[in-house]
Amino acid sequence: METTLFDLKSGQEAVIKNFKGGAEFQKKLRSLNLRAGKTIRKVTAEPFHGPVVIEIDNTEVAIGMNMAKKIVVEASESGSDT
Amino acid sequence: MKILLMGNPNVGKSAIFSRLTGIDVMISNYPGTTIELKKGKMKLDGETAEVIDVPGTYSLDPASRAEEVAVDMLQEGDLVINVVDATNLERNLNLTLALLERNIPVITVLNFWDEIRHLGIHIDVKKLESCLDIPVVPVVAVTGEGIKTLVSRLHEAKAHQKRYSEEERWENIGKIIREVQQITLKKHTLLEMLEDLSVQPLTGIPIMFSVLIVVFWTVRIVGETMIAYLFDPLFALYLPLVTDLSRMLGGGGVIHDILLGTLIAGQIDFIQSMGLLTTGLYVPLAMVLPYVVAFYLVLGILEDSGYLPRLATLVDAIFHRLGMHGLAIIPMLLGLGCNVPGALSTRILEGRKQRFIAATLMAIAVPCMAQTAMVFALLGPYGIKGLGIFFMTLFAVWLTLGFLLNRFLGGETPETFMEIPPYRIPYPASLGKKLWMRIRSFLTEAVPFVLLGVLIVNILYVFGIIGWIGEIAAPVIVGIFGLPKEAVAALIVGFLRKDVAVGMLLPLGLDMEQLIVASVVLTMYFPCVATFVVLFKELGARDLLKATAIMIVTTLLTGGILNALL
Ligand SMILES: Nc1nc2c(ncn2[C@@H]2O[C@H](COP(=O)(O)OP(=O)(O)OP(=O)(O)O)[C@@H](O)[C@H]2O)c(=O)[nH]1
Ligand SMILES: [Mg+2]
């Protein structure tokens, strides 16, 4: 199912599909290896419009809410453990 | 020869720098520990080579000020030691390949070699060497494993200058990774579970409050214990010495007063006498140092464990309302130790608006440990109430001022985008080294200022300058703050050292309310001279002037309101 990183459920795994943002935005994401095709896991979203935390490779990354809304992902069928 | 240590943030560049040069530098488990170029020397084939620790950077297309520094350095270097986090090879190789386009000899170091095993990662070093066509050396920077091999292979470093598009680079990286890296299914460790728990709000927020409370009480208890069982007994042994000296000097006179201060009820009083050998030593060593030690011990554990970036994530939403990233918690925490490193570390924040807000809030509302220690001594006897009002007032000022600054200052604060490193068990040896560095810099940089402060107090009194300024400042000090005129002396000295200044309140016989007002005003009204100099360098003259104006207005308002309410 295609959704954004923001809407993805916590604990769920997903594959990054594409980005609803410009070249600068994508370049910034690439610096932490957020590229199309990478598998990520959403750890949590902080309350009060706080950042989304994901796990990618062996690091966690905190991503501002509005940035998370611009990252389109394909959620894995299973993989949800919440 | 100039050797540059380059790599992504938090990959262990500074740890390797310290191994190569023998120089102690700040090493912590969060991205952005190193904010300035740090130079050192090492022996290489009988000659001295210069080694430079460059701030971490994700790419060579300068996106921030720190990255610009890194890219500029590249022009000057003769050799690059590219430090790579072996647990995150794919992301790190992007910078490695970019470096290989620059026609400068590169040698790659695979750091965190100790961690890859239990992460189930296997890297074929030989294959990686042939893929990259440069030497690759696995090391464990914290234990020194592999550093000798690194040094012996430095001369094998090789320059390339193929040009790739970024697309081709990532394709290339994909190919290399498939070839050299295997990942077997990893077990989830306890630390990894804790990583999730400490950022998930339901568990993370209680954990955060517990951590903060434990930190506060540990600092107080460790500090108090050290004073009661170590420093006070030591000074009790010292007292007869200075008392004898006082008798020899005839109990008075200019030299007596400068060295030992004035006798209080015929006795030397370490806090009130104000002599170089009495108060000048007692305040920094017996009152402040114990808390400095306690605070930096706890801060070191927080830094090395990797908790700080998680704390930053949890408070990010609140901090954004104040125009800052959650990451700005780092300058605030460092500021609680000493405002100087606090001001310096605002550099890790993106954007001028954010840096200005963080530096201003820190300078105004974050008391350094030297001052806090003295406030503990002064307000401690009144129990939790006095200290509670003191800290709550500063916190309220911090929140309100941040909110207003964010509202009325132009400019945007970009959204958070931050790497959170894994939890690591701190190495006691690294903790000890870091603690010692900080204690040493307190002893060599703060203590002389304390002595200077005490000397100036004496001079001001001898020439009657305090009385004179007291008259001029009376409307503010008496009228607005409700303090006696004599408190002006503390305010003057506070510009030099806040700890001495707080100590000077003691002889004034203030009640609890006045002590609170005076302590709050002393925290807010002006940073000490050392902080002021750093702020000038970081903000520039215009912004510093702006910050100072904000400071004066906020202090007058807060002091006045507090005086009216209490
Ligand atoms: N287990 C382990 N920890 C390491 C190793 N090397 C460094 N560390 C830890 O990793 C953290 C980062 O090390 P630093 O030397 O500060 O990293 P840096 O690259 O200088 O980081 P920045 O200055 O922030 O760019 C510290 O907590 C070190 O103790 C290693 O080989 N093994
Ligand atoms: Mg460093």
Smallest Cβ–Cβ distance between A49 and the set B119, B309, B317 belongs to: B317
pLDDT digits (tens, 9 = 90+) for B292-315: 999 999 999 999 999 999 999 999
Sign of CA dihedral B98, B99, B102, B103: negative
β-strand B136-138 against B106-111: which pairing, if any? parallel
Q: Decide: B269 and B316 in contact? Cβ < 8 Å.
A: no
Domain C-terminal end among B121, B151, B183: B183
Q: Decide: B530 and B371 in contact? Cβ < 8 Å.
A: no
Give the count of domains, chain B. 2
Measuring CA to CA, which residue among B208, B61, B267 is closest to residue A47?
Answer: B208
Residues B220 and B179 in one domain: no
Is the CB of B9 within 6 Å of ligand 1?
A: yes
Angle, alpha carbons B449-B454-B457 (nearest 5°):
125
Which pLDDT value is given to residue B254? 87
Q: Decide: B335 and B368 in contact? Cβ < 8 Å.
A: yes
Give CA–CA dist B93/B74, Å, rounded.
17
Which pLDDT value is given to residue B484? 93
Q: In the numeric block, which tokens belong to residue B366?
A: 């974050």
- CA A17 to ligand 1 centroid distance, Å: 33
- Which one of A16, A46, A56, A70 makes the best mutation probe of the B interface by having the most chain B beta carbons within 10 Å? A46
Mean pLDDT over residues B269-296, rounded?
94
B91 pLDDT higher than 90:
yes
Q: How confident is the model at residue B66 (pLDDT cuts 50, 70, 90)?
A: low
Which residues of chain A neighbour B58 with C-beta distances below 8 Å?
31-32
Position B207 in a domain: yes
B244 pLDDT higher than 90:
yes
Task: Indicate the helix (H) or strand (E) that contains B93.
Answer: helix B89-99
Position B464 in a domain: yes
Q: In the numeric block, which tokens belong to residue B132?
A: 């990259």
The CA distances from residue B379 to B214, B280, B510, B526, B541, in Å, are 20, 21, 11, 21, 36
Residues B122 and B16 in one domain: yes
Residues B392 and B360 in one domain: yes
Residues B158 and B267 in one domain: no
Which pLDDT value is given to residue A82? 43
Residues B280 and B175 in one domain: no
- Are B420 and A61 an interchain contact pair (Cβ–Cβ within 8 Å)? yes
CATH architecture of A2-75: Roll (2.30)
- Are B420 and A60 an interchain contact pair (Cβ–Cβ within 8 Å)? yes
Residues B499 and B443 in one domain: yes
Position B311 in a domain: yes
Is the CB of B143 within 6 Å of ligand 1?
A: no
- Are A28 and B417 an interchain contact pair (Cβ–Cβ within 8 Å)? yes
Smallest Cβ–Cβ distance between A51 and the set B90, B170, B313 belongs to: B313
B540-545: list long-range contacts, CB under 8 Å, 24+ apart.
B543/B356
B515 pLDDT higher than 70:
yes
Smallest Cβ–Cβ distance between B90 and the set A29, A33, A61 belongs to: A33
Give CA–CA dist A38/A40, Å, rounded.
6
Position B507 in a domain: yes
Which pLDDT value is given to residue B461? 81
Give CA–CA dist B159/B280, Å, rounded.
57
Mean pLDDT over residues B218-247, rounded?
96
Give CA–CA dist B444/B442, Å, rounded.
6
Which pLDDT value is given to residue B528? 87
Residues B215 and B84 in one domain: no
CB pairs under 8 A between A and B: 97
Smallest Cβ–Cβ distance between A33 and the set B61, B91, B417 belongs to: B91
Position B93 in a domain: yes
Residue B400 CA, chain-centre distance (Å), reads: 24
A79 pLDDT higher than 80:
no
Task: Identify which of B37, B117, B123, B142 to mutate to test ligand 1's pocket (most ligand atoms within 8 A of the CB).
Answer: B142
> How would you write B104-123 as a 3-class SS string?
CCEEEEEECHHHHCCCCEEE
Is the CB of B453 within 6 Å of ligand 1?
A: no
Longest Cα separation, chain B: 85
B147 pLDDT higher than 70:
yes
For residue B27, give the ligand 1 atom closest to its CA: 16
pTM given for the model: 0.93
Q: In the numeric block, which tokens belong to residue A74?
A: 């394909």
Which pLDDT value is given to residue B489? 87
In B349-422, the DSSP E strands lie at 417-420
Position B196 in a domain: no
CA atoms within 13 A on the CB side of B548: 16
pLDDT digits (tens, 9 = 90+) for B516-546: 999 999 999 988 889 999 999 999 999 999 9
Measuring CA to CA, which residue among B255, B226, B260, B229 is closest to residue B243?
Answer: B260
Residues B44 and B123 in one domain: yes
Q: What is the ipTM of this complex?
A: 0.93
Taking CA atoms only, the protein residue closest to ligand 1 atom 32 is B112
Residue B199 CA, chain-centre distance (Å), reads: 23
Position B188 in a domain: no
- Are B199 and A46 an interchain contact pair (Cβ–Cβ within 8 Å)? yes
B89 pLDDT higher than 50:
yes
Average confidence score pLDDT of chain B: 93
B46 pLDDT higher than 60:
yes
- Count of C-beta atoms within a 10 Å radius of residue B311: 23
**Residue A74 three-state SS:** strand
Residues B290 and B403 in one domain: yes
Give CA–CA dist B184/B121, Å, rounded.
6
Which pLDDT value is given to residue B421? 95
Position B194 in a domain: no
Mean pLDDT over residues B139-151, rounded?
95
Residues B23 and B138 in one domain: yes
Give CA–CA dist B443/B449, Å, rounded.
10
Give CA–CA dist B424/B407, Å, rounded.
38
Angle subtended by helix axes B352-365 and B329-337, to nearest 10: 30
Q: How confident is the model at residue A81 (pLDDT cuts 50, 70, 90)?
A: very low
- CA B45 to ligand 2 centroid distance, Å: 26
- Are B199 and A60 an interchain contact pair (Cβ–Cβ within 8 Å)? yes
pLDDT digits (tens, 9 = 90+) for B180-224: 999 887 777 889 899 999 999 999 999 999 999 999 999 999 999
Residues B94 and B174 in one domain: yes
Q: Decide: B35 and B66 in contact? Cβ < 8 Å.
A: yes
**Residue B412 three-state SS:** coil
Residues B146 and B225 in one domain: no
- Which one of A12, A19, A53 makes the best mutation probe of the B interface by having the most chain B beta carbons within 10 Å? A53
**Through-space distance between the first and last CA atoms of chain B, rounded to whole angstroms:** 64
* Domain span including residue B527: 201-415+426-565
Give CA–CA dist B326/B349, Å, rounded.
10
Task: Identify which of B8, B23, B34 to mutate to test ligand 1's pocket (most ligand atoms within 8 A of the CB).
Answer: B34
Q: How confident is the model at residue B63 (pLDDT cuts 50, 70, 90)?
A: low
- CA B487 to ligand 1 centroid distance, Å: 47
Which residues of chain B neighbour A34 with C-beta distances below 8 Å?
none
